[in-house]
Amino acid sequence: MNKRERMLAVFENKTPDCLPAGFWHHYQERNPAELAKRQLDFYKKTNMDFLKIMYEYMFSLPEKVQKPSDWYKIKPAGKNSPEYKKQIEVINRILDGTKEDVMSFTTMFNAMKMAAWCIGDAGIMIHAKEDPQALRHGLRVFAEVLEEWACGFLETGIDGIFYSAQFGEVGRFNKEEWNTLIKPFDLQVLSAIKAKGKFIILHLCGEPNYDFKVHIDRYGEYPRDMINWAIHANHYDLSRGIDYFSCPVMGGLDNRSLMLKGPIEEVDKAIDQLAMQYGKHGFILGADCSIQGDYNENLIAHAVEHAHNISLS
Ligand SMILES: [Zn+2]
């Protein structure tokens, strides 16, 4: 199987020839050409089974948002924004730089993340309490922008979106707040991706100030073709997630300890165990989230190689 066939087998809950694997980390580069090159280098060095294209541009508005009512005035540039144009360039450069038949996914964040980039995490928490209606207006505008962006990203020829669903942390928003401030806008963007017939890898992501803990069980209704969450921080293991989400899963390894520091023998042992337990149906080896801090490319490349040496068929 080539990498595309191997990934498609997993998406279809079939048994791939060997265990596919993929990891990612953040980059310091912001120039699209350099950022694309660094990601291609990482892909080639690790030989991972898909292209996970990072989104590193955050977002800003021409208007200043200070008080909640300012959300009623925002007019984001949409597809004319520099952030979107740079990401399109990154995607195109990465697609052009790959000869292999490999699936590709660009990362997208959600509407609340756009708001948080504009006014800060503390700012959105204050506005959510003071005037949720006004904040909702801003989120609705951002969700429309993200719909447009998603469609534009997909037109480049990528296979789908890696959707980072944030702001579902334990202790951040109660269920009612989450139901009005987060869920509808996530569903709006995810539905637009689904309508294009493309793949969704849903990533449930928590921030460090909430100990990376997320209400996993809020996400059962979200459209997805594959799911990835922090099994270690949440004490929510793969078997439980497979039961709950009934879709292929990616993950298994700790992004903040084992996949960061090794040792290599422990990484091998963990991969062998995961392959035995989950490898036959709908499973890609990965980590809880991006590999944090001083990632070790050699260790990541070794993990992928070790996974590839495990024959499943
Ligand atoms: Zn994450």
Distance 160 CA to ligand 1 centre (A): 17
**Structure confidence at residue 313 (pLDDT):** 79
Mean pLDDT over each residue of the chain, to the nearest integer = 97
Distance 31 CA to ligand 1 centre (A): 23
**Structure confidence at residue 250 (pLDDT):** 98
**Structure confidence at residue 293 (pLDDT):** 83
| Nearest in space to 312 (alpha carbons), one of 13, 24, 4, 103 | 13
Classify 3-308 by CATH class.
alpha beta
Which residues in the chain show pLDDT less than 50? none
| Statement: the pTM of the whole predicted model exceeds 0.75 | yes
Distances from the Cα of 23 to the Cαs of 45, 152, 157, 239, 300, in angstroms? 12, 25, 22, 20, 7
Distance 230 CA to ligand 1 centre (A): 8
**Structure confidence at residue 170 (pLDDT):** 98
> Other C-beta atoms within 10 Å of 231: how many?
21
Distance 73 CA to ligand 1 centre (A): 31
181 with 131: CB under 8 angstroms? no
Rounded to whole angstroms, the Cα distance separating 54 from 81 reads: 18
Give yes or no for a cis peptide into 263 (omega within 30° of 0): yes
Distance 171 CA to ligand 1 centre (A): 17
Distances from the Cα of 201 to the Cαs of 7, 30, 97, 168, 204, in angstroms? 12, 24, 23, 17, 10
pLDDT in tens, 256-299: 999 999 999 999 999 999 999 999 999 999 999 999 888 999 99
Distance 292 CA to ligand 1 centre (A): 10
Q: Give the 3-state DSSP-derived string for 260-280, with helices as H, strands as E and coil as C.
A: HHCCHHHHHHHHHHHHHHHCC
Maximum alpha-carbon separation in the chain: 59
**Structure confidence at residue 292 (pLDDT):** 86
| Residue 26 Cα to chain centre, angstroms | 12
